[in-house]
């Protein structure tokens, strides 16, 4: 079967940074599904791993986590899906990736594909939707009021993949005020179109921009990028006893400014449940089914902004190049082989 991978980590400038290969088609066992991949998307985690993690245990590493496809085989213990089902999922970071014609995935982290959108449009959402949902509702617990705080969430990096779906989930599932940061006119328009009540510029001081809104100190802050640049400002404008969450990987992060306000801090990794086989691993199956329902009901929409091309090395290189600029809006998707 066709696949795209790399044999050596490092810069995208190398000719062999990503290569087209032929590998054996896998066989499902246990609770695994064998999925014929129809569409994928590219996430910052793809870029980070390609840059920094050499292949382990083999001569080739295959990236890719978001996938939409059709179940073509099931392991002996699988019970949630059957052959012919249309599915979507974000995969597991410790298994072979989805940039391949056929892919094995544990059914407990798989959901039914939303029926109202194309495979490419659907492929934009699983990883970012799981990340945003888990952060907002499992970690930050935004449905539980913070005493004395404004019922508002600040999303730093609102125009990115995770921020784009976080805005929509908040609007679809809560009555909270959504404040999203975006620095360019086109990204500010994007977050407002997705439902943000306010768009503020993260290249300028955040506290004055939030104070002028006249709503008080927000109870929650969700930082998706460059957290180390904003941590002191967050300590200023977040409400006492508020909740802060991040998903990026700053080399150093000093949260001492949070102490006087007793700010709880949460670090979300969408892969944790699958990586450790936690008892609640099937929660991701349930979340994806709920997100599919919200999409089919028109309460949220796909965050796909560009179909880069077919699933091959050339198209994936282009997608990685765009993500490395740190100026991507929404999600980049690829469809077909």
Task: Tell me how crowded residue 84 is: count the other CB atoms within 10 A of its CB.
Answer: 8
CATH number assigned to the domain with residue range 129-267, chosen from the 4 options 2.60.40.1260, 3.30.2130.10, 3.40.50.720, 3.30.420.10: 3.40.50.720
Structure tokens at 207: 């506290």
Task: Compute the distance between CA of residue 335 and CA of residue 118 in angstroms, rounded to an integer.
Answer: 10
Mean pLDDT of all residues in 301-324: 95
What DSSP string describes 168-225?
A: HHHHHH---EEEEE--SHHHHHHHHHHT-SEEE-TTS-HHHHHHTTTS--EEEEEE-S
pLDDT bin (cut points 50, 70, 90) of residue 37 is very high
Q: What is the CA radius of gyration of the chain?
A: 20
Of 314, 337, 307, 310, nearest to 19 by C-alpha is 314
Query: φ and ψ at 234, to 5 degrees?
Result: -60, -40
pLDDT bin (cut points 50, 70, 90) of residue 327 is confident
Beta strands 19-22; 2-6: pairing state: antiparallel
- Asked if domains 2-125+280-335 and 129-267 share a fold, the reply is no
Mean pLDDT of all residues in 23-46: 96
What DSSP string describes 256-288?
A: GGGGGGT-EEEE--TTHHHHHT-TTTTHHHHHH
Task: Compute the distance between CA of residue 300 and CA of residue 315 in angstroms, rounded to an integer.
Answer: 27
Q: Which residues of 258-270 are buried (b: 16+ CB within 10 A; e: fewer)?
A: beebebeebebeb
On the question of pLDDT at 58 being above 80, the answer is: no
Task: Locate the domains of the chain by residue range.
Answer: 2-125+280-335, 129-267
pLDDT bin (cut points 50, 70, 90) of residue 326 is confident
Task: Tell me how crowded residue 7 is: count the other CB atoms within 10 A of its CB.
Answer: 14
Predicted confidence at residue 321, as pLDDT, reads: 94
Maximum Cα–Cα distance for the chain, whole Å?
A: 60
CATH T-level assignment (fold) for domain 2-125+280-335: Quinone Oxidoreductase; Chain A, domain 1 (3.90.180)
Give tens-digit pLDDT for 244-272.
999 999 999 999 999 999 999 999 999 99
Give tens-digit pLDDT for 96-129.
999 999 999 999 999 999 999 999 999 999 999 9
Structure tokens at 301: 């929409």
Of 206, 194, 154, nearest to 176 by C-alpha is 154
Predicted confidence at residue 187, as pLDDT, reads: 94
Q: Read off the pTM.
A: 0.95
Task: Compute the distance between CA of residue 307 and CA of residue 259 in angstroms, rounded to an integer.
Answer: 45
Structure tokens at 45: 């985690």
């Amino acid at each position: 079967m066709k696949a795209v991978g790399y044999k050596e980590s490092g810069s995208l400038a190398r000719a062999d940074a990503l290569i087209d290969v032929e590998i054996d088609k896998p066989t499902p066992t246990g609770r695994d599904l064998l999925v014929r991949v129809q569409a994928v998307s590219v996430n910052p985690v793809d870029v980070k791993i390609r840059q920094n993690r050499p292949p382990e245990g083999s001569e080739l590493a295959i990236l890719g986590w978001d996938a939409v496809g059709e179940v073509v085989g099931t392991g002996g213990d699988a019970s949630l899906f059957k052959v012919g089902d249309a599915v979507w999922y974000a995969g597991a970071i410790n298994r072979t990736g989805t940039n391949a014609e056929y892919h094995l995935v544990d059914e407990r982290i798989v959901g039914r594909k939303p029926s109202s959108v194309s495979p490419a449009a659907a492929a934009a959402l699983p990883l970012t939707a799981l990340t945003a949902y888990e952060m907002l509702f499992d970690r930050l617990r935004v449905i539980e009021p913070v005493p004395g705080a404004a019922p508002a969430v600040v999303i730093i990096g609102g125009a990115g993949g995770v921020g784009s779906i976080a805005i929509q989930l908040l609007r679809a599932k809560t009555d909270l005020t959504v404040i999203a940061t975006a620095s360019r006119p086109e990204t500010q328009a994007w977050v407002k179109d997705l439902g943000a009540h306010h768009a503020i510029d993260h290249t300028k001081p955040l506290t004055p921009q939030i104070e002028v809104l006249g709503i008080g100190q927000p109870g929650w802050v969700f930082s998706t990028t460059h957290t180390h640049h904003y941590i002191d400002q967050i300590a200023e404008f977040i409400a006492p006893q508020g909740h802060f969450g991040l998903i990026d990987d700053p080399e150093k992060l000093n949260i001492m400014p949070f102490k006087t306000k007793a700010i709880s801090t949460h670090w979300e990794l969408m892969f944790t449940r699958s990586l450790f086989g936690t008892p609640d691993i099937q929660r991701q199956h349930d979340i994806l089914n709920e997100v599919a329902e919200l999409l089919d009901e028109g309460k949220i929409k796909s965050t796909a902004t560009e179909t880069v091309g077919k699933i091959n090395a050339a198209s994936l290189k282009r997608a990685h190049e765009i993500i490395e600029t740190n100026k991507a809006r929404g999600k980049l998707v690829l469809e077909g082989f």
